[in-house]
Amino acid sequence: MTIDRRFFLAATTATGAWTTTEAVAAPAAPTSVPISGLGVDAFHLGVRTNSPDDQTEALQRAIERTAGARLPLVLSPGVYRARGLTLPAGARLIGVPGATRIVATDNVPLITARGADYVALTGITFDGTGKTLPENSGLVQLAAGRGVLIRDCEFVGSGANGVMLEAIEGEFANNTISNAGEAAIFSLDARNLTIARNTIRTAGNNGILVWRSQVGDDGTRVIDNHIEEIGARSGGSGQNGNAINVFRAGNVIVQGNRIRKAAFSAVRGNAASNLSILGNTCSALGEVAIYAEFGFEGAVIANNVVDGAALGIAVTNFNQGGRLAVVQGNVIRNITARRPAGTDPNDGYGIGIGVEADSAVTGNVIENASVAGISVGWGQYLRDVTVTGNVVRGAGVGIAVSVTPGAGSAVIADNLIAAAKTGAIVGMDQHKAMTGDLTREGATRYAQLAISGNRVR
């Protein structure tokens, strides 16, 4: 029997009750109680829970029939074995969180959709069982859809990405992704997507990727997620091993995330302009905790906590157009002189905050940075930086500033520097100290530097 919305409405009117499963002509189901008030119970459309048989054909028919009638399909608790399901526009699958499970039976994505607007997945566990998937695919992958909602689901054991989203507008929220072979969530060319309140545990290469094919506006919000145990299985010098990586995507907000144990960075912005990194708590990072690098213009990095990394915050690559930032109100501690394998041996380490061009560094607190609390410029790459009102405690050098010929201007004023081992403010040429402590010697021979009002003890 063809499902028709008018049939359902007529049945509802006639009976005075709203139970969609009663409106479907189907055999009685004494062993499966339909979930009333939510949608059509899949049992009544021939889908069998906990069957050893593959349910792909039955599930696909049920998805198409309910989507055509713009009615949700309800999957009762239990296991459904399937492969390669396709969602049409308007498809809505509802399960019971932690109890409804779709298990992969083949080396293909469990769910795909393209050009399907207003699809929704809620309360379902998608189990890839570690099966190998095609390159750049996901256990669930959706493309070119508006009004997409994925909520309260689990994605387990994907052989590639947990979830692959391409040109998606909508919300991915309150989900759990674990043991993904590549990235937990890979968003490409999004349209004002929200990725919020998800839990990511153990991913082979990255946690959340927000990428674009070309530099451009994106507008994704990555907020209030919990991310831990991110590896760099495929190696490299930073393209892997990141909890959150924003690449070429403009106007992205990364806020309120708890990040622990990533092989490289907690938040890495690469050629990502107008990037806001706000109020994240990050610990046990292998490389730079928070990064704005390469050809970006505009970054606000504020009110974050970093505990344990090779470098706390880096705003860098002025040589490739990286410029314009505010670094404010961050707490950074326990920055060591260790970097993971694969990184350039000439890169900095043991630095609390490093900046190069057109930036203000203000109101930060840095403790136990083994090489330098704040590094201003690198070689000749220094232009128009202010460093004011910061507290630096227990660093090798309190504030290191480039005095390499060709380096530009910096203002270093009204900072409190305590227990610096080799000088409060020292002129540098990359890794080499070129001066003594400029708070004692004075910096008058460097016309490009204004150093005043700093308190040293």
In the predicted structure, residue 13 carries a pLDDT above the cut 70: no
Mean pLDDT taken over the chain: 91
Residue 398 has pLDDT above 90, yes or no: yes
Displacement of CA 341 from its chain's centroid (Å): 23
Residue 36 pLDDT > 70 = no
Cβ contact 305:367 at 8 Å: no
Predicted confidence (pLDDT) per residue in 287-307, tens digit: 999 999 999 999 999 999 999
Give the model's pLDDT for residue 276.
98
pTM above 0.85, yes or no: yes
Whole-number percent of the chain with pLDDT over 90: 87
DSSP 6: H
Judge contact between 415 and 409, C-beta under 8 A.
no
Per-residue pLDDT at 364 exceeds 90: yes
Is residue 312 pLDDT above 50, yes or no?
A: yes
| Full DSSP string of 125-163 | EEE-TT----TT-EEEEEEEEEEEEEES-EEE--SSEEE
pLDDT in tens, 80-111: 999 999 999 999 999 999 999 999 999 999 99
Structure tokens at 178: 């674990």
Q: What local confidence, expressed as pLDDT, does residue 37 receive?
A: 65
Query: Which among 115, 120, 117 has a CA at the least distance from the CA of 71?
Result: 120
Task: Find, among 92, 86, 165, 154, the residue nearest to 123 by Cα.
Answer: 154
pLDDT at 19 over 60: no
Report which of residues 34 and 104 the model is more confident about. Answer: 104
CB 348, CB 312: distance < 8 Å:
no
| pLDDT tens-digit map of 193-211 | 999 999 999 999 999 999 9
Taking the C-alpha atoms of residue 196 and residue 173, their distance in angstroms, rounded to an integer, is 5
Residue of 408, 288, 282 lying closest to 347 (CA atoms): 288
The CA-atom distances, in angstroms, between 52 and each of 22, 81, 109 are 27, 7, 20
Show me where the domains of the chain are located.
70-456
Q: How far apart are CA 336 and CA 423, in angstroms?
A: 18
**Is pLDDT at 5 greater than 50 in this prediction?**
no
With a cut of 60, say whether residue 18 has pLDDT above it: no
Query: How would residue 359 be classed by pLDDT, with cut points 50, 70 and 90?
Result: very high
Q: How confident is the model at residue 443, as a pLDDT?
A: 74
Predicted confidence at residue 345, as pLDDT, reads 67
From CA 132, how far away is CA 104, in angstroms rounded?
11
User: pLDDT digit string (tens) for 115-173?
Assistant: 999 999 999 999 999 999 999 999 999 999 999 999 999 999 999 999 999 999 999 99
Nearest alpha carbon to residue 208 among 154, 236, 172: 172
Would you say domain 70-456 falls under CATH 2.160.20? yes
Average of per-residue pLDDT across 298-325: 97
